């Protein structure tokens, strides 16, 4: 279960399998606890409950099961709770389902249109015969409009704490992204990930050529970790990584791989200068741990790359997660 403290592990997601109506109530109660930890008001908690009810009920009624994924939104000035409804069902006709009161079953429907009105941030992507992902964020405070961030960070099945982690920090006129994968899984991997994120935040204004060596030094005595930093700015991406975190830029018709060096932060690592790639803000930056298979084909998902980064992250998690390790995917793009 996702820790409720709003601390260094606030990046972690909680995935709930939805196969019957009773599961939705559990998620709703958990969502309210997240909101209370963030000191959200009663109106926001009520809105969040409605969102969870509607999205959860849609999953078990119309998709024969799926997941609700919850996380705190605590990046780039935003504060609140994110709900992702993820299924591999028959897909939907979005022009119909966005109408209040529409139902594809025999019962009256509240409609995704109602969820869209309630949510501070809303988006949806659906492909017939492949499934649907719906995003709804209920925010206490909106964040910076310059960049959009989406992430899914799920622990190894049966574990409470995730050995992966991620963070985003404002950096100059852009944003600094980090994905970390502590070796193995469980509490010791989690401790390494938390330490790497702490160093990244402490050194958020330092150039990357200083940050990765600092992480390496601080992780000595831990299990060690794969680490990938990327500084996104209006004209370029500067990145530096060690280990098996995969990085991509989605360019027109292709993926541009961002190469990481061999080694493990905290154990053995060569000092290699950061790499710079030109970037005009088009497309998205995708970083993921090895809990996901990197051989995904984005052409399978018409229109996906135009959707919110959280939709992209959840879709890749749904279809590419190995299920044998912690799994994290972080997506960043300039705001539309």
For 101-124, the DSSP string reads T--SSSS----HHHHHHH-SEEEE
pLDDT in tens, 269-328: 998 899 999 988 889 999 999 999 988 888 889 999 999 999 999 999 999 999 999 999
Q: Packing angle between helix 21-37 and helix 42-62, nearest 10 degrees?
A: 150
pLDDT in tens, 226-262: 999 999 998 999 999 999 999 999 987 678 999 999 9
* Per-residue pLDDT, 9: 60
State whether residue 309 is helix, strand or coil: helix
* Per-residue pLDDT, 98: 64
- pLDDT band at 110, cuts 50/70/90? low
Taken in order of first residue, the domains within the chain and their CATH numbers are: 14-141 (3.30.565.10), 147-334 (3.60.40.10)
- Read off the DSSP letter of residue 261: B
Res. 5: pLDDT tops 60? no
* Per-residue pLDDT, 281: 83
Residue 175 CA: distances (Å) to CA of 76, 160, 205, 231, 334? 8, 29, 11, 6, 10
Instruction: Give the mean pLDDT of 126-143.
Output: 95
Say how far apart CA 32 and CA 252 lie, in whole Å: 41
State whether residue 56 is helix, strand or coil: helix
* Per-residue pLDDT, 95: 67
How much of the chain exceeds pLDDT 90, in percent?
76
- Strand partners for 277: 237
Instruction: Give the mean pLDDT of 5-15.
Output: 70
Residue 232 CA: distances (Å) to CA of 76, 124, 222, 235, 334? 13, 25, 29, 8, 9
Res. 8: pLDDT tops 60? no
* Per-residue pLDDT, 200: 95
How much of the chain exceeds pLDDT 70, in percent?
92
Instruction: Give the mean pLDDT of 138-165.
Output: 93
CB under 8 Å to 190, separation ≥6 — which residues?
Answer: 9, 161, 162, 163, 165, 182
E runs forming strands in the chain? 14-18, 66-73, 79-87, 121-127, 131-141, 147-154, 164-171, 174-182, 225-232, 236-242, 246-251, 254-258, 263-264, 268-269, 275-278, 285-288, 327-334
Neighbour count for residue 138 (Cβ, 10 Å): 26
CB under 8 Å to 284, separation ≥6 — which residues?
Answer: 249, 250, 305, 309, 312, 331, 332, 333
Alpha helices in 63-186 (DSSP H): 94-97, 112-118
CB under 8 Å to 202, separation ≥6 — which residues?
Answer: none
Mean pLDDT of the chain: 91
Res. 104: pLDDT tops 80? no
Instruction: Mark 203-242 as b/e (b = at least 16 C-beta within 10 Å).
Output: beeeebeebbebbbebbeebbbbbbbbbbbeeeebbbbbb
Res. 126: pLDDT tops 50? yes
Residue 78 CA: distances (Å) to CA of 89, 121, 229? 31, 11, 21
Res. 7: pLDDT tops 80? no
Res. 20: pLDDT tops 50? yes
- pLDDT band at 69, cuts 50/70/90? very high
């Amino acid at each position: 279960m996702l820790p409720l403290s709003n601390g260094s592990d606030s990046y972690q997601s909680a995935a709930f399998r939805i196969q019957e109506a009773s599961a939705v109530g559990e998620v709703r109660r958990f969502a309210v606890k997240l909101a209370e930890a963030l000191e959200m008001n009663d109106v926001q908690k009520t809105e969040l409950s409605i969102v969870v009810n509607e999205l959860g009920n849609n999953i078990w009624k119309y998709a024969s099961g799926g997941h609700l994924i919850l996380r705190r939104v605590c990046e780039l000035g935003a504060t609140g709770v994110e709900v992702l409804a993820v299924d591999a069902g028959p897909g939907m006709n979005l022009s119909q389902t966005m109408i209040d009161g529409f139902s594809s079953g025999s019962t009256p429907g509240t409609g995704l249109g109602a969820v869209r009105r309630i949510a501070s941030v809303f988006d949806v992507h659906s492909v017939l015969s492949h499934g649907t992902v719906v995003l709804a964020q209920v925010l206490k405070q909106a964040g910076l409009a310059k960049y959009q961030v989406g992430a899914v960070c799920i622990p190894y099945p049966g574990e409470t704490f995730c050995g992966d982690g991620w963070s985003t920090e404002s950096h100059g006129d852009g944003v600094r992204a980090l994905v970390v994968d502590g070796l193995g899984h469980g509490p010791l991997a989690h401790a390494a990930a938390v330490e790497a994120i702490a160093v990244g935040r402490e050194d958020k204004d330092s150039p990357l050529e200083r940050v990765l060596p600092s992480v390496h030094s601080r992780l000595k005595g831990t299990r060690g970790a794969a680490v990938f930093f990327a500084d996104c700015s209006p004209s370029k991406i500067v990145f530096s990584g060690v280990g098996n975190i995969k990085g991509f830029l989605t360019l027109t018709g292709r993926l541009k791989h961002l190469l990481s060096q061999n080694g493990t932060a905290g154990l053995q690592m060569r000092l290699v200068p950061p790499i710079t790639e030109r970037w005009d803000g088009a497309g998205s930056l995708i970083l993921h741990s090895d809990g996901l298979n990197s051989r995904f084909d984005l052409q399978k998902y018409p229109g996906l790359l135009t959707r919110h980064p959280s939709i992209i992250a959840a879709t890749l998690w749904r279809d590419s997660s190995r299920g044998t390790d912690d799994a994290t995917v972080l997506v960043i793009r300039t705001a539309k």
